[in-house]
Amino acid sequence: MSLQFFSSPTPLASDTAHVLGAGLLGLQAPAAAPAWPLQHVRAPLLGSDGLSFHEAWRVDSAPLAGVTEGIHWRRAGDLLFGVIELAEEPGRSDLRTLSEQAYARLFRLLDAQALPHLWRVWNYMADINGSADGLERYRQFNLGRAEAFLQGARSVVGRVPAACALGLAGGPLSIAFLAGPTPAVPIENPRQVSAYHYPADYGPRSPTFSRAALVYPPGQELLFISGTASIVGHQSVHPGDVVAQTRESMDNVAVVLDQANQRSRSGGHALGALSYRVYIRHAADAPRVQAVMAERVGAAPVVCVLADVCRAELLVEVEAQGLRSL
């Protein structure tokens, strides 16, 4: 089973029978609901003339498909991609409950499919830095996620998936995931405290993700670098300076990449050979962020999205991925 990654400002080609799942970035909705699981990140693209950007995972055989407890999924061999969206009740913040429900459903699906290991998760929610009942909404999300991990007999430290969590202007809690039969190889950053070991200053439950993960579809090595920001140790650095924050974020990406390459089975990955999503809090900062990215990754594909990072003082977050044959 061979996995391919498609990334383009143009829509998917007509041959979609082999699409495992996809992401759509931008405000423009698809003309019709696709047959495959689709996570629509409803946020403006920055520094792009296009209204949308398409990313898709393709496989070399027609996947099985289903809907289970609201999760739209496709499975090809031992690869599983799914998307779930849960809307909050109007006038009520129940992000903790929705997060726990979504992940509990996700784990039940993984167990039923005998593919128990999460590899990568993409989380998006409205008003991530807002507060309700005296607690920041991102921290509410972390509470619900961790509770579901524990209830689902999953570890909340060590062998946890790569992930991101970003805030959008509105919309449901949206979670997309890729899972498989074997555990991801978690990668941490020696410049940073592991997120799952953050002190209580950052909330009653630490975030449940690794800094990066190496995973192994048949005959391939897939590197996922989680959402990475201007954090050293566990503290945010360079407040108010988006250029310095972008450089610090990329310094962290480079260190994580070096750590991953020390464990790589494929000969290693290069900064300029990865695909990037960059989340920028203020649209006016996009040209400066893009300039730093060009300095660091050259002509590598970079798509910039207007989104809020999980800490209010952070102005930019970078994530990346790369796929190599073994």
Res 13: pLDDT: 64
Give per-residue pLDDT as tens, 58-106. Answer: 999 889 999 999 999 999 999 999 999 999 987 666 899 999 999 999 9
The CA distance from 22 to 34, in Å, is: 10
Q: 304 vs 8, which has greater pLDDT?
A: 304
Q: Name the band, by pLDDT with cuts 50, 70 and 90, for residue 7.
A: confident
Q: What would the two tokens of residue 56 be?
A: 């898709």
Cα→Cα distances 199→138, 237, 262, 313, Å: 15, 17, 28, 18
Strand order in the sheet with 212-215: 45-46, 302-306, 275-280, 316-325, 220-228, 212-215, 185-187
Alpha carbons within 13 A on the beta-carbon side of 170: 4
Active site residue 317: yes
Res 14: pLDDT: 55
**Residue 64's Cα: distance from chain center in Å?**
23
**pTM across the whole model:** 0.96
Q: Name the band, by pLDDT with cuts 50, 70 and 90, for residue 34.
A: confident
What's the CATH code, domain 3-325? 3.30.1330.40
Asked whether the beta carbons of 180 and 202 are under 8 A apart, the reply is no
Res 319: pLDDT: 98
Q: Name the band, by pLDDT with cuts 50, 70 and 90, for residue 29.
A: confident
Res 279: pLDDT: 98
Asked whether the beta carbons of 251 and 211 are under 8 A apart, the reply is no
